[in-house]
Structure 1
Amino acid sequence: MNPVPTGERETQGPARLRVMDAAIRLFAESGFESTTVDEIAAAAGISRRTFFRQFHSKEDVVFADHRALLAQAAEFLEQARCDPGADPWESVCDAAELVFRRFEENRALSVRRYRVVNAVEALREREIVTVHSYERLFTDHLGAVAPSASPLVIVPFAAAVTAGHNYLLREMLRGNPEATLPRLRSELELIRTRMRGDAPRCDGAGDDRAPAARRVVVVVADQASADDEIADAVRSGLARAAAGSADAAVDSDTDVGT
């Protein structure tokens, strides 16, 4: 394997996010359009060449955290996929919590970035595309690990988890004290309970068996038959149906008063 150039090593991982931090600070202070790549590189202590080796544009550096978080979420779901005891629907919720937690841990940077993105239309549009990447990740994971689940359950579930996460994340960045990780966990649990559909439960709870087929018993009775005679015939037919009699399941062949 070829060694990674020094400039690239310096801007990978946490160092890459430091470049983003420097850029966001400049964007917040001077405006996105007014800030140059040279100013970002100087503030981050890297060369212009190194900046473009790692980021295609100023827009790209704004979303460096999302790229890192998307990769972490994908890795988390891949590990869950290899765990036979993992509930895939719960794993998706856990991945959403992971993303929220990272933004919460870096709240100051996240707030600055949120304000920068909201101030620039092109960045707002890029944010929409980025959010869809999370939703696509969740959908693909569920489609792979829960193949028996209907797409009409998977797609709305992934969308609901993503939307719920994004709503509380925005509230947290706006300073809402109620927008916390425990609140997100509670809301995602409600979504999972309401929308999981035919998802298998790995903890053995619930009953995934198909409902038993209904049995029909037909009794042919003469008009002169007494009520108790008809009732006895019906009970007899139901008893045979419960015992698995094919004849009873279709027609009791019981004539009353004939």
Structure 2
Amino acid sequence: MTGRQGVSGDDSGRRPRGRPSASSRAEIERAAIRLFLAHGYADATVAMIAGASGVSRTTFFRYYHSKAEIIWAAFDRHTQHLHMLLEADPGTEPAMTVVRRCVVEALRDSADDEGIWMKRFQILDSSPDLRSEESAHWISWAAAIAEHVARRTATDPRSVVPQSIGGAVQAAFLAVLRSWIAVPAPSAALLPELDEELVPLCDLFQGWLDGRNGNSTSLGST
């Protein structure tokens, strides 16, 4: 984006119509994250975000339908990436080894050098105004795990075993993220800790799956 506009300005003549630039979208996100942390999600308005990022309200809504989308769009991209990683599993490793590896890899791909990934999590985990939407997004995250387990065990993803494992891994993932909120400069260097925390849980569930399926999920059978 060339040039900046105030909250009440109209920058429609400064940039051709079409897909918004990625750099401007990132600028709005960074400004919003700063304001959410400084003032609270509820008190940081779209006008404040637009002003801090140097665009008009009209331009803001070209990038985001609401301020909540600034938080959830990135979360949903992360979840979609986790789904893709798990769906690409060729079935040559134990099912829960794949889960652990993909959960860590998806978060590694979401992490950024500025620590926005953890700031975003801090906001979504602590803002009452986002609580009504939070459950649906986390259910989708857990569903990625459940669907993978169901594929590997030839069961319905809505059945007890896949749902139990999806929910438990999601709870462990959430607990680890919460433990990182107080870390001064969270980075991808924390990821081995996530992997370490997931090992005993995933090993426990792998034993459960093996006992139910005659070791097929360890041997790579789908």
TM-score between both structures, scaled by the size of structure 2: 0.71
State the one-letter code of the partner of 1:172.
Answer: W
Partner Cα separation in structure 2 for residue 27 and residue 183 of structure 1: 28
Q: Is structure 2 residue 175 aligned with structure 1 residue 167?
A: yes
SS in 1 for 2:209: coil
State the one-letter code of the partner of 1:26.
Answer: L
Which of 131, 142, 153 is the aligned partner of 2:149?
Answer: 142
Matches within 5 A, 1:94-133: 94-102=101-109, 105-106=112-113, 108-133=115-140
Aligned to 2:98: 91
Q: How big is the shift at 1:115? A: 4.3
Matches within 5 A, 1:1-258: 8-11=19-22, 16-80=25-89, 83-102=90-109, 105-106=112-113, 108-147=115-154, 151-175=159-183, 180-196=190-206, 197-199=208-210, 200-202=217-219
Q: How big is the shift at 1:108? A: 3.2
Give the gaps of 5 or more residues in structure 1: 205-258
Partner Cα separation in structure 2 for residue 189 and residue 98 of structure 1: 14
Question: Contact 2:91–2:220 at 8 Å: present in 1 too?
Answer: no
Q: Which has the higher contact order (CA 8 A, sep 6+)?
A: 2
State the one-letter code of the partner of 1:122.
Answer: D
TM-score between both structures, scaled by the size of structure 1: 0.62
SS in 1 for 2:166: helix
Q: How big is the shift at 1:203? A: 6.4
Partner Cα separation in structure 1 for residue 131 and residue 182 of structure 2: 16
Give the gaps of 5 or more residues in structure 2: 1-15, 211-216
Aligned to 1:250: none
Partner Cα separation in structure 1 for residue 110 and residue 182 of structure 2: 13
Partner Cα separation in structure 1 for residue 220 and residue 77 of structure 2: 32
State the one-letter code of the partner of 1:60.
Answer: E
Aligned to 1:232: none
Aligned to 1:238: none
